[in-house]
Structure formats: C-alpha cells, structure tokens
C-alpha cells in the first residue's frame, strides 16, 4: 500500500452500516451515513452530510437493485454539490451484468445501459466478480470511467482448503470454469477440479451433466460459482455428484442472492455447508471481501 492515497471518507446507507464501518476501518477514514426518508407516494428523500471531503468512496451493493440505482443517481451528484470532486463507487455486487446481448429483437441490453449510466456518474467503479460472459473486461462497457473488477475466487478457494480435506472443486456449468480454476490455484496442493455442462431451458429449468470421466466416488465435492440466485444449477450439480457417489457436497459462492426458498431447496438436495462472501448480506456469509476492496480503493 506504499504510495497509495486513502479517500476522505466512506459514504454509505444505513442498511450497509456494518460493511461500511469495516471498509472505513480498513481505510482508516471516517464513516458518514446517508439518511433516507420515504414519502407516502414512494419517492425518496436523501440527506447527506452538509460538507464532504474532496475524495469520497460511496458504498452500495446492488442486490435488489432497482431502488438502489435511483439512490445512486441522486446521491452521486448531491455528493459533488457538497464538496466531493472525486466519487468512487464501491459496489460489491453489480447487478444487470448478465444480459450482455439482445436475445430477441427489441430487447434492451441491460449490461451496457446500466454500466454506462454508472460510468457517467462516478469517477471509478470497483466491484467483485461481475457476471461477464461475452465481454473481456468491465472497462469495455464503462467508457470514461475507471472500472475495476476483482475476483473473490482465491478467497473462496483458501476458505475451502482450510475446511475440507482434499476437496474436489466442481463448477455447476461452463461459465463457472474461471472461478473454479482460480479457487483451485489458491489451494495447496492444487485440488482436482472440473465443471459440469449445462443447458438452460428457463429461469427454473436447467439440465446439467457431469464432465466425462469425472470420478466422484467417496470424494468431498465442493461446488464453486460466482453467484447463487434460484440455486437450481447448484442443485442439479449436487444431485449429480451425490448420485455419482460423492461422500459430501458443500457449496461456496461469491454472491449469495438465494431468492425465495433457494437456500432451503439447496439444503434439501443434500448440500451440507454453504459458504459465501459478504458481497450480498446472507446468513451464509463467511468470507469477507473488505480487505480486497480496501486494497483496490487505495490503488484506484
């Protein structure tokens, strides 16, 4: 961290106070909270500190994103009016990254539009494991803004290595391969690792097959992925691993979205432990990304 410069404060909303306090502590800067008031018609009033330092980190994770995006569109220009000349968005979970092409005529490419919107309001955007599939880098969809994408896969892999003896790391689909590889490299010795083949027929209908020749008999399988939303892909992979003779199946993910009954359904398939980072608040949170983000802020 030699030669790096900390911002003047971390600015955050009250529902992320715990994460924000940890980030401010790691950066050794004050924490300032944004007050929110909801009017009867649903509109929001935000109140920021009356004066702000020249450089501000604004923390907002974008799970359940729609209202939070409106908050950012109000808070960012307001921060500049109150003295901030540089506003950096720390966004542990960046929503709307999955739709990166139009799958049918007239369909909006939400990745490009939401990323572009944030790029126009912030000097830099820092995020963890955005779901990038058909683009090489987050910078490609955030012109004019410094976009920093980092991965928690190494943290996840190190966590698993400390708790599971000789794990078999298994991704639930081909898209998870990048996270599986990085998680495996964080273990010593590097464990066996592979990923399934997936066909998605709908939001709740996926078909998964194990890679040819993979032996699960008697193994401690740990499913690795960047996010769990409905959990259906993880469930399909867990069932396959258990049917193939796995002794145990656990799961470790970066973003624990777990909508509806996803967590209960995942457990019902036979998955034992579920570990996640604190990018998205959830009972499974076990791995902190605060040090990762603090280092990125200091280097930004």
Active site residues: 198
Give the β-pairing of 31-38 and 44-47.
antiparallel
User: Which of 126, 121, 117 lies closest to 146, judged by CA?
Assistant: 126
* 167: β partners: 220
CA pair distance 169, 181, nearest whole angstrom: 9
Fill in the DSSP letter of residue 288: -
Helix (H) or strand (E) holding 206: strand 205-209
Fill in the DSSP letter of residue 170: E
Burial of 99 (0-12, 13-18, 19+ CB in 10 A): middle
CB 110, CB 96: distance < 8 Å: yes
User: Which of 24, 156, 142 lies closest to 94, judged by CA?
Assistant: 142
Both tokens of 252, joined, read 């470790």
Whether the ω angle into residue 294 lies within 30 degrees of 0, i.e. cis, is no
Both tokens of 65, joined, read 């994103």
Q: To which residue do tokens 């991965």 refer?
A: 151
User: Which of 49, 9, 2 lies closest to 29, judged by CA?
Assistant: 9
Separation in Å, CA 120 to CA 1, 75, 87, 115? 28, 13, 11, 9
CB 144, CB 121: distance < 8 Å: no
């Amino acid at each position: 961290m030699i030669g790096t410069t900390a911002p003047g404060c971390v600015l955050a909303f009250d529902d992320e106070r715990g994460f924000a306090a940890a980030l401010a502590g790691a950066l050794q800067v004050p924490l300032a909270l944004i007050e929110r008031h909801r009017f009867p018609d649903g509109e929001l009033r935000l109140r920021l500190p009356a004066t702000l330092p020249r450089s501000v980190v604004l923390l907002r994770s974008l799970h359940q994103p729609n209202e939070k995006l409106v908050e950012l569109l109000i808070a960012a220009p307001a921060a500049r009016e109150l003295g901030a000349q540089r506003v950096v968005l720390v966004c542990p979970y960046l929503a709307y990254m999955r739709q990166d092409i139009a799958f049918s005529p007239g369909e909006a490419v939400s990745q490009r539009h939401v990323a572009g919107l944030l790029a126009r309001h912030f000097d830099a955007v820092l995020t963890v494991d955005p779901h990038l599939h058909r683009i090489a880098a987050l910078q490609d969809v955030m012109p004019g803004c410094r976009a920093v994408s980092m991965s928690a896969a190494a943290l996840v892999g190190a966590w698993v290595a400390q708790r599971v003896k000789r794990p078999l790391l298994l991704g639930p689909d081909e898209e998870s391969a990048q996270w599986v590889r990085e998680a495996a490299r964080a273990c010593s010795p590097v464990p066996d690792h592979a990923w399934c083949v997936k066909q998605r027929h709908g939001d709740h209908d996926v078909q998964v097959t194990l890679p040819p020749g993979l032996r699960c008999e008697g193994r401690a399988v740990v499913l690795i992925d960047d996010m769990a939303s409905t959990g259906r892909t993880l469930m399909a992979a867990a069932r396959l691993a258990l049917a193939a003779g796995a002794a145990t199946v656990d799961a470790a993910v970066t973003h624990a979205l777990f909508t509806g009954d996803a967590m209960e359904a995942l457990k019902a398939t036979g998955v034992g432990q579920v570990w996640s980072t604190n990018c998205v608040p959830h009972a499974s949170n076990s791995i902190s990304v605060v040090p990762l983000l603090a280092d990125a802020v200091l280097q930004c």
